[in-house]
Amino acid sequence: MLKVKSIDVYYGESQALWNISFNVEEGELVAIVGPNGAGKTTIMRALTGLLHPKKA
């Protein structure tokens, strides 16, 4: 299970994502979709540790 609760993600001083929360249960298949600039890559970078989110 993956649980993300109330995180903010920054690039330096610029906030890229605000108050992101979601759960992925075991066996679920998830897709992250959205327009360019919506934050899909930023979410993945935070989940993999390339960016360090801050708790809101």
The domain tally of the chain equals: 1
pLDDT over threshold 80, residue 55: no
With the C-alpha atoms ordered 41, 47, 50, 15, is the resulting torsion angle positive or negative? positive
13 Cβ contact list (under 8 Å, min separation 6): none
Q: What is the pLDDT of residue 54?
A: 85
pTM: 0.82
pLDDT in tens, 12-45: 999 999 999 999 999 999 999 999 999 999 999 9
pLDDT over threshold 80, residue 56: no
Residues spanned by the domain of 11: 2-55
Residue 27: count of CB within 10 angstroms of its CB: 6
- Which pLDDT band holds residue 8 (cuts at 50, 70, 90)? very high
